[in-house]
Copies of this chain bind each other. A is one copy, B any other.
Amino acid sequence: MRILVLGGDGYLGWPTALHLSSAGCEVAVVDNFARRGYDLEMGVESLVPIASLQRRVECWEDVSGHQIETFIGDTTEEAFVYDMVGRFRPDAIVHFAEQRSAPYSMVDRKHAVYTQVNNVVGTLNLLYAIADTDPAIHLVKLGTMGEYGTPNIDIEEGYIEITHRGRTDVLPFPKQPGSFYHLSKVHDSHNIAFCCRAWGLRATDLNQGVVYGQSTPETLLHPDLATRFDYDAVFGTVLNRFVIQAAAGQALTVYGKGGQTRGFLDIRDTLACVELAIESPAAAGEFRVFNQFTESYSVNELAEKVATAAGGADIAHLEDPRVELEEHYYRAAHTKLLDLGLLPFLLGDDLLGDLLALARAHVHRIELSALAPQVMWRATSSTLSRPGRPRTVNANRDFPR
């Protein structure tokens, strides 16, 4: 199998590329280093040092004997996308190449527009390139559980059967995304579904939960194969923040009441799910949606788990910077990947112990000021976009070429 991994220099893209390469696939990685650019813009860094893409690929060849091809460029550029798909001729394309932070998308107007244009246009270009090159190429697209929001009914996998005034249909599950980032993923989902219907493309949308963990069997083979670990308030996720705070002897900061409940999964399960989706592709014309998470937790439950694993930690409640329900019903189906054979890693003390050890080993690299939320959903611009604060890297960010 020939697999293109878009966003293959990122937190999940890189370990996915290694995992597929290790499994015997011919893998190429595509990236424009936007993610490393956000670090420069925000003045933050991965807790764990990461090597350049060139060094990573070289190291992987030394360690495993497998080559990974690289394409450096931007998916919003038509010529780049067509050239890459036409030259590599993949069987499947795994698409991680999107701006993936909700707070980043809420920094100000510029970041909102950038996020939506970047994500939507990149995916549109890809859909056209697939249709024009070979409609049989299977698109494996990373979506998010956040597309659904928190409805007061059970969340199904992409579709729901509705009986209304005596008639029945199976329709797309209604979406209530909670940031311009989550909205961009909903836009993508609608665009991809249409292209499957109109052009007979085959696509799998992986509505992923919040991923935790930093190591996979392949990244552990050499320090230069390590992937990122983000803990800052813009790109870090809640479990990482708690681990860092516990390691630094700080209180764990819960936003609002802490009843916010989400789906979570181990990074190793992300790799397994992507592989399962590739092995059993969607049919021609099928837009298939899998909910990709293994367990649901409230923020309070996660804080308790980390505090316990750390041998004690204070828990503090901050005002919630987001607009979201702080206590709500949450139950979401996630059986389709289990049916394909997923055997999940569950969140236990071993994993939390490993993460705490990782944080303690890098405690000198922790920038505590990066943990404080600066992006407020109810405001149209944040301190991050004001003079004297970190600024956007690229004056042309609205319309990247």
B-binding residues in A (CB < 8 A): 78, 109-110, 112-113, 116-117, 120-121, 124-125, 128, 131-132, 151-154, 160, 162-165, 167-169, 171-180, 183, 186-187, 190-191, 193-194, 197-199, 323, 329, 377-378, 380, 398-399, 401
Contacting pair B329 A167 (CB below 8 A): yes
Task: Identify A198's interface contact among B197, B323, B398, CB under 8 A.
Answer: B323
A291 to chain B, nearest CB (A): 15
Chain B contacts for A197, CB-based, 8 A? 323
Question: Can you show 28 pairs from A to B with CB atoms below 8 A apart?
Answer: A109-B124, A109-B125, A112-B124, A112-B128, A116-B124, A117-B117, A117-B120, A117-B121, A120-B187, A121-B398, A131-B380, A151-B171, A152-B169, A153-B165, A153-B167, A153-B168, A154-B164, A154-B165, A162-B174, A167-B329, A172-B174, A177-B190, A183-B187, A186-B190, A198-B323, A198-B377, A199-B380, A399-B399
Chain B contacts for A329, CB-based, 8 A? 167
Say how many copies of this protein the assembly contains.
2
Residue of B nearest to A117 (CB): B117
Contacting pair B169 A172 (CB below 8 A): no
Contacting pair B168 A172 (CB below 8 A): no
Complex Cα spacing A165 to B163, Å: 12
Contacting pair B172 A171 (CB below 8 A): no
Contacting pair B174 A174 (CB below 8 A): yes
Complex Cα spacing A129 to B189, Å: 27
Q: Quick one: which of A109, A165, A199, A401 has the most chain B CB within 10 A?
A: A109
Complex Cα spacing A224 to B401, Å: 42
A190 to chain B, nearest CB (A): 5
Contacting pair A113 B109 (CB below 8 A): no
Complex Cα spacing A378 to B178, Å: 33
A56 to chain B, nearest CB (A): 32
Complex Cα spacing A178 to B196, Å: 11
Contacting pair B172 A176 (CB below 8 A): yes
A132 to chain B, nearest CB (A): 6
Chain B contacts for A109, CB-based, 8 A? 78, 124-125, 128
Contacting pair A164 B153 (CB below 8 A): yes
Q: A124-B180, A151-B169, A171-B176 are in contact. List 18 more A-B contacts (CB 8 A).
A: A109-B124, A112-B128, A117-B120, A117-B121, A128-B380, A151-B171, A153-B163, A153-B171, A154-B164, A154-B165, A172-B174, A172-B175, A173-B174, A177-B190, A180-B191, A183-B190, A187-B187, A199-B378
